Structure 1
Amino acid sequence: MNSALRLLTVLGGSILLTVAAGWAVDLLLRRADARHPETPLWNLLRRCRRALQIVLLAALLKGAYPQTAWRPLRENEAAVGRVLSLALIGAGAWLIVGMASALVESGYARYATGTRDPARVRRVRTQVTLIMRVVTAVVAMVAAAAMLLTFPSFRALGTSLLASAGIIGIVAGVAAQSTLGNLFAGFQIAFGDMVRIGDTVVVAGEWGVVEDITLTFLAVRTWDERRITMPVSYFTTRPFENWSRGGVQMTGTVFLHCDHSAPVDLMRDKVHEILHHCREWDGRGWDVAVTETTPSTIVVRAIVTAKDADDLWTVRCAVREQLIAWLAEKHPDALPRLVLASAPEAGGAPLDGKTRHPR
């Protein structure tokens, strides 16, 4: 009965201390967040409350459970201690990742608020994303190794593994050559500013926006909501179009095939009117000119500008649709036509090529 009472006291006391410590830390973080609203760090750190409580509970139980003198615990002391150690290591890794994530996200948020250049913000966002994934992977590997070392059999195995580490490293390097190449390519993309999250790119003939970048692959969201997943090494070994590099402003063209009698001056005025009523046009520039002629048509090119690729697509579609509708309504003869009428006789020769003599 005495040992059972000790067990309840240890469990209850540990749980109460854990809850009280978590409540106190959360209160301090809320007050710090209220005093410093310019930084989201304190509010982000509140997400680490659960991990902190698990760490505290596991540490308290690991230090206090031998004092309970409860027979089942004494008989399984090694197993109980190992379980608490595993919980402590896992929760500690969770806490470290959460704190690192809060620090990185807070720094990125402050940088994004104080920077007006969208390209720099996307660059920092890409770097922050990859850095956090590297930190998470490293912490997870260290935690997994620490958990394995709690088992005596793995400790003995570690000595023999270290002796053959050179051979294993060579074999692993050859086997994981593609994976390691993608890993280093991910770092090259992140810190070489080749492509960033949010950039508009054209890869493998597909137009889309970079949605996610990991250490091994890159996801591009196309205009029709498809996702193209490509290894990051693709972007370091092959050419691709990055429409967002050097600024997101873009210039596009609209081509129309018209009849030779098309009123180009009136079309120029109509394009100007369409652009002034189009919200996506940024006002930087426009032009209308005849760029090509064929025996049956002329090619009229309209140049328009927009602040980014999405708006440019909208402006081009609006100009194309409204200009064709205006021509069809006001100047139908300006649209291309198929001439089906018979050609007049040349020099008195009939259409069938036979000579006809007057009677």
Structure 2
Amino acid sequence: MALPTTFIASAPAWINSAITTAIAATVAIAIALVVHAIAVRLLSGLLDEFDGVRDIGIARQLSRPLRWALIALALAFAARQVPWIADAWAHVSGLAIPAIIGWLALVLVQIATRAMALRADITTENNLQARRRLTRLTILSRIATFVVIVITIALMLLSIPSVRNVGVTLIASAGLAGLAVGAAAQPALKSLIAGIQMALTEPIRIDDVVIINGEWGRIEDIRTTYVVVKVWDERRLVVPTSKFMEDTFQNWTRESSELLGTVFLYLDPATHIAPVREEAERQIRAHTNWDGRVAGVQVTDTTASAMEVRLLMSARDAGLLFDLRCAVREAMLDWLRREMPQAIARKRLEMERKTDTIEAG
């Protein structure tokens, strides 16, 4: 009978402590929520005064992590006064604080990325600098996100005593652990380093026109471990980042988007070239896709059955150049068919006729 008597005697103190803890925690959370609402309202009003910031939604993105950060701060202050809150806070703070700080850091990285991306408009005609800025921003933001996540998880794991003890054991045997971790992480580290090199050296940029693995396409997205190339027929090539640092590929817009293109005609070797040159240059110069830089006609090769005529032309970008080449090719073939059908290459078979006559017997 001694146990129930002891329990009953201690019950009022336990209840009082529980009520005090509940009231203190409730008040702390309520204060945190009020401060959060005021802070978000003030932040929204302040940022709405700046042009372009409203589209980013900074206050909206910061609202949730800021709410939990203020609640954690309020509970930390309450823990100084209430022992029960202090005991509970001691168990969860090691996980909660790194998680909230990491969350805030990720949101800030996203806000900064989006704010700077608004200044990089790649829809304009001369968009080299914008594509360069957007590419570097995309790669570095993803590397920063990766680093923040790794550090946050590491800090959260270190707050768990059993995991921390394992870490100490691994550090004690750092030689073997380092070799094992290095071997396992080699592909990830290789891709991460390639991503950093790509951001600094810029072999490719967002919206660059490239030819890789025999495919023509545009750089659609650049990740830390792979690059997405949008092929002309709407397919997507997923290429490891390291491939662009180690293998050869063609970048048609490395310095500018202006390109030269060719159209080849195969004509009869006896064709008079002056009318063909005049008509080809007229067709090129009259087309709206021609950028006014290059328009020329040259005979680049001859064979026994045909001569190769190259039409050289220029355009502002690869897409316009492709359309220009197709249009000029069609127009020239139609003109040759109508005006100079004899210029179309044909295979001949000439036979020498015998001059001797055969007398009839």
TM over 0.5: same fold? yes
Q: Which moved more, 1:138-147 or 1:325-334?
A: 325-334
Partner of residue 248, structure 1: 257
Contact 2:120-2:134 at 8 Å conserved across structures? no
Q: 1:263 to 1:87 in 2, by over 3 A?
A: farther
After superposition, give the CA deviation of every residue in 1:200-234 in whole Å (9 maximum; x if it has no partner).
Answer: 22222222222222222222222122222222222
In 2, the alpha carbon distance for the partners of 1:27 and 1:269 equals 70
In 2, the alpha carbon distance for the partners of 1:91 and 1:325 equals 70
Tell me the CA shift for residue 161 of structure 1. Answer: 2.2
Partner of residue 34, structure 1: 48
Tell me the CA shift for residue 297 of structure 1. Answer: 1.9
Secondary structure class of the residue paired with 2:48: helix
**Residue number among 289, 297, 303 corresponding to 1:294 in the alignment:** 303
Secondary structure class of the residue paired with 1:35: coil
Q: 1:234 to 1:165 in 2, by over 3 A?
A: same
Partner of residue 124, structure 1: 133
After superposition, give the CA deviation of every residue in 1:301-321 in whole Å (9 maximum; x if it has no partner).
Answer: 111101122221121111112
Q: 1:300 to 1:61 in 2, by over 3 A?
A: same
Partner of residue 49, structure 1: 63
Partner of residue 142, structure 1: 151
1:142-291 paired onto structure 2 within 5 Å: 142-260=151-269, 262=271, 264-291=273-300
In 1, the alpha carbon distance for the partners of 2:282 and 2:90 equals 79
Secondary structure class of the residue paired with 1:311: helix
Q: 1:4 to 1:230 in 2, by over 3 A?
A: same
Contact 2:293-2:314 at 8 Å conserved across structures? yes
Q: Which letter does structure 2 place at the counterpart of 1:284?
A: R
Q: Which moved more, 1:133-142 or 1:276-285?
A: 276-285
Query: Is residue 2:353 matched to residue 1:346?
Result: yes
In 2, the alpha carbon distance for the partners of 1:254 and 1:156 equals 71
In 1, the alpha carbon distance for the partners of 2:315 and 2:136 equals 28
TM-score normalised to structure 2 length: 0.80
In 1, the alpha carbon distance for the partners of 2:28 and 2:344 equals 85
After superposition, give the CA deviation of every residue in 1:56-101 in whole Å (9 maximum; x if it has no partner).
Answer: 23444565589899xxx99xx65x8645753443233121111123
After superposition, give the CA deviation of every residue in 1:171-190 in whole Å (9 maximum; x if it has no partner).
Answer: 22234334323322222221
Give runs of ≥4 in structure 1 deviating > 6 Å. 1-8, 65-69
Query: Is residue 2:351 matched to residue 1:337?
Result: no
**Residue number among 309, 322, 326 corresponding to 1:313 in the alignment:** 322
In 2, the alpha carbon distance for the partners of 1:102 and 1:334 equals 64
Contact 1:7-1:65 at 8 Å conserved across structures? no
After superposition, give the CA deviation of every residue in 1:135-190 in whole Å (9 maximum; x if it has no partner).
Answer: 11121112112222332222322321221233311222234334323322222221
After superposition, give the CA deviation of every residue in 1:288-337 in whole Å (9 maximum; x if it has no partner).
Answer: 22222222222221111011222211211111122222323443333233
Contact 1:29-1:43 at 8 Å conserved across structures? no
In 1, the alpha carbon distance for the partners of 2:340 and 2:37 equals 76
Number of corresponding residues? 346
In 2, the alpha carbon distance for the partners of 1:10 and 1:226 equals 59
TM-score normalised to structure 1 length: 0.80
5+ long unaligned stretches in structure 1: 350-354
1:98-113 paired onto structure 2 within 5 Å: 98-110=107-119
In 1, the alpha carbon distance for the partners of 2:93 and 2:230 equals 44
Tell me the CA shift for residue 282 of structure 1. Answer: 1.2
Contact 2:220-2:229 at 8 Å conserved across structures? yes
* Coordinate RMSD, CA, aligned: 3.6
Partner of residue 352, structure 1: none
Secondary structure class of the residue paired with 1:233: helix
In 2, the alpha carbon distance for the partners of 1:12 and 1:317 equals 73
In 2, the alpha carbon distance for the partners of 1:330 and 1:157 equals 86
In 2, the alpha carbon distance for the partners of 1:82 and 1:275 equals 76
Q: 1:229 to 1:61 in 2, by over 3 A?
A: same
In 2, the alpha carbon distance for the partners of 1:17 and 1:329 equals 87
Contact 1:41-1:103 at 8 Å conserved across structures? no
In 1, the alpha carbon distance for the partners of 2:296 and 2:92 equals 73
In 1, the alpha carbon distance for the partners of 2:31 and 2:331 equals 71
Counting aligned pairs with the same residue, the percent is 33
Contact 2:140-2:196 at 8 Å conserved across structures? no
In 1, the alpha carbon distance for the partners of 2:248 and 2:98 equals 45
Q: 1:130 to 1:356 in 2, by over 3 A?
A: same
